[in-house]
Chain A
Amino acid sequence: DAGVTQSPTHLIKTRGQQVTLRCSPKSGHDTVSWYQQALGQGPQFIFQYYEEEERQRGNFPDRFSGHQFPNYSSELNVNALLLGDSALYLCASSFGTGGLNTGELFFGEGSRLTVL
């Protein structure tokens, strides 16, 4: 049973560039949430996708956007990269938005983005 898979695992970009990160949820899950984890910090909620729509959003600028596909996989796009965007980007899946209430989010290993 495949867990949450993310790609790429590591990437390096320069300021001003754009990046796309990808996530496939755990089998049977239909909800994908994205988190940003800076070094020494806890994960910060970016947004959540369910039924191909953004359902909730954290305190992140519009440079952060996403998409969910019919097969429940998801992409996170970040435009006009800043040095401060360097972080581990975590994708988490659950079943239905109610999955948030159970507290059991299944995380992927993350995509580590370095912005130079």
Chain B
Amino acid sequence: RKEVEQDPGPFNVPEGATVAFNCTYSNSASQSFFWYRQDCRKEPKLLMSVYSSGNEDGRFTAQLNRASQYISLLIRDSKLSDSATYLCVVNQAGTALIFGKGTTLSVSS
């Protein structure tokens, strides 16, 4: 079983749609959780951290369910510029970041 699993998609949505990505992780000792964004043929960049209480950054909402070992990212009012691959990332204290395969989002007009 992979450490971090994501639905690869692609998710094809129209502008203005709400879309949700899910991620599960296998190591219950994981302590930190993140979403990274990677544009086509570019490097990954940190989108947001994920906190136990859930957190929001503008149109983006991240949630964590430690009991189910599940992380989600919700994007509201999708923009064309949101088209990218979204990488779910976990790590234990002091260890390397473990990336999922990523979920591809394509927003169309």
Contacts and interface: CB of A to CB of B under 8 A. Distances in A.
A33 B99 CA distance: 13
Q: Is the interface of A mostly helix, strand, loop or mixed?
A: loop
Given A41-B101, A103-B34, A109 B91 contact: no
Interface residues of B, number: 25
Interface stretch (A13-21, A43-51, A66-74, A75-83): A43-51
Interface stretch (B11-19, B42-50, B68-76): B42-50
B101 A101 contact: no
Contacts of B102: 41-42
Nearest to B31: A101
Given A41-B101, A101-B32, A101-B91, A48 B96 contact: yes
Contacts of B98: 45
Interface in B70-91: 87, 89, 91
B91 to A, nearest CB: 6
A110 interface: yes
B32 A43 contact: no
A105 interface: yes
Interface in B20-37: 31-34
14 contacts: A33-B96, A42-B87, A42-B100, A44-B99, A45-B97, A45-B98, A101-B32, A101-B91, A102-B49, A103-B91, A104-B46, A107-B44, A107-B45, A108-B43
Per CB-CB distance, the 7 closest pairs between chain A and chain B, nearest first, are A42-B99, A107-B43, A103-B34, A45-B96, A42-B101, A43-B99, A104-B46
Interface of A: 33, 35, 40-45, 48, 56, 58, 90, 97-98, 100-105, 107-110
